[in-house]
Structure 1
């Protein structure tokens, strides 16, 4: 998801990527055969995707974005904004401004896969939320922004595990 690298972290995250969820501000180049799953949060995100695969005209949304992206054009999926609203309304019960990309990917997997295993979600042993690949000088900042309700998302994943809908590995 997003800018998360796998190289160097294979022991923890595996070595195969089938679907890579991103939005323009978190875009990275993808290896051949990987599905780019665009999570469009605004109309400009759709325009960016077209631009990033062709002309490179869009270089800025609310921040600088990749002008071009390497991706298999035959393996692009776009999450319908209605699905995002469904997740926000029904799954997160409107906690936070919108669900995290990780939770969006998880709910997508629950709806499309017969078995779902969850790795890398939640807080570290000190209760801090951060991305595994980052040195983060403010790992508690995730709680303060209000963009995602990390605690609610964590409890939701734990409930899904208790109900047997996902296998959750901390």
Structure 2
């Protein structure tokens, strides 16, 4: 399957396109169609020429064999040749371990950032340096829609018709939309390396006093029911990137209103990163960019400034590329759920997508509030008034995610807060 590579001339110039194939990581290459394996024939050296009687016999045998061979060819000439079945473990079609690629110059001059160190780590074989983390207007073509519409949910454009996709993505047309750290030049303050704090909502943060440490990073990522007011001492107050899907946003407002969560954090520095798993995400994002009510779907008529504030604009909106989420599922979080009855709904959790996106865009990543092996010692969320055990659902593999966080921490690729 062919992907696309984007070549950039400068940091903010629109990328140019060319074709590139991305081979699958886990598939065994199939044999060429119609290929046959034949045993090599051993030859014996001739020690003396055959006598005339033997020559006559040999010539007669050759005639018989030639006639039989011609007859066989005539009898099989019209029969279709069946393709040879590929051998070895082959990924089912919904896996789709082939991706668009783009070449965007690095934003920093960090000498030992994650991007350079991960290649020498145990994750080097999984890591794709040029996978697009975010999608924007120039990614949308008829060809790409045909390629991605076979993958549903967060992993493709299966639930989004082409016209809706074009209408929505047309507003994501600037470098602010395809760069996660779009304001690095004004924020870096002579730093060579970008430092990102990625904050989950785990109960391990309760009483941690990590708020100031979190806020000291260049960027602070949060997700879903990120309750801040009243918990600043433990979780900080800044939010530069807020990751969510429309579904998780609505669920969070219903589920965590008791704790003070009534919508995403709103500030001048906050960017909103959509994790699209339905066309309702595209519809809400377009409405937010245009300051118009949502046109249709479950949120029809909703004023998006209710969630993102009066100052929201297209420059503050981003959306994960479905190739990136499918790549995370296939290469970092390849759960056994993919072999079972829930394979079609399985995806990385929203927090996992956020943390791994930071891994692909920041030079240094510190993770707080993510599940650790002693998770039973902590309530599900840091804002829970009473203890609630961690909930597990069929569409995520939280235990596998926990193992990956431990591996990334051990490899020195992230710094994971493990508790007091």
Runs (5+) with no aligned partner, structure 1: none
CA displacement at 1:126 relative to structure 2:
2.5
Name the counterpart of 1:162: 410
Name the counterpart of 2:370: 121
The CA RMSD over aligned residues, in Å, is 2.7
Whole-angstrom distance in 1 between the partners of 2:397 and 2:377: 14
Name the counterpart of 1:34: 270
1:125 to 1:92, Cα distance in 2 relative to 1, 3 A: closer
Structure 1 position 130 matched with structure 2 position 392 = no
Whole-angstrom distance in 2 between the partners of 1:135 and 1:100: 24
Whole-angstrom distance in 2 between the partners of 1:153 and 1:125: 13
Name the counterpart of 1:57: 295
User: How do 1:1-170 residues align onto structure 2 when only pairs under 5 Å count?
Assistant: 1-27=223-249, 28-29=263-264, 30-52=266-288, 53-58=291-296, 60=298, 67-68=303-304, 69-71=307-309, 72-73=312-313, 74-96=315-337, 97-122=346-371, 126=376, 130-135=380-385, 139-140=389-390, 142-143=391-392, 145-170=393-418
CA displacement at 1:136 relative to structure 2:
7.3
Runs (5+) with no aligned partner, structure 2: 1-222, 250-262, 338-345
Query: For 1:83-132, what per-residue CA distance to the aligned partner results, in whole angstroms no more than 9, with x for missing partners?
Result: 11011111101455111111111111011111000100116653567232
1:162 to 1:20, Cα distance in 2 relative to 1, 3 A: same
CA displacement at 1:147 relative to structure 2:
1.6
Number of residue equivalences: 166
1:20 to 1:3, Cα distance in 2 relative to 1, 3 A: same
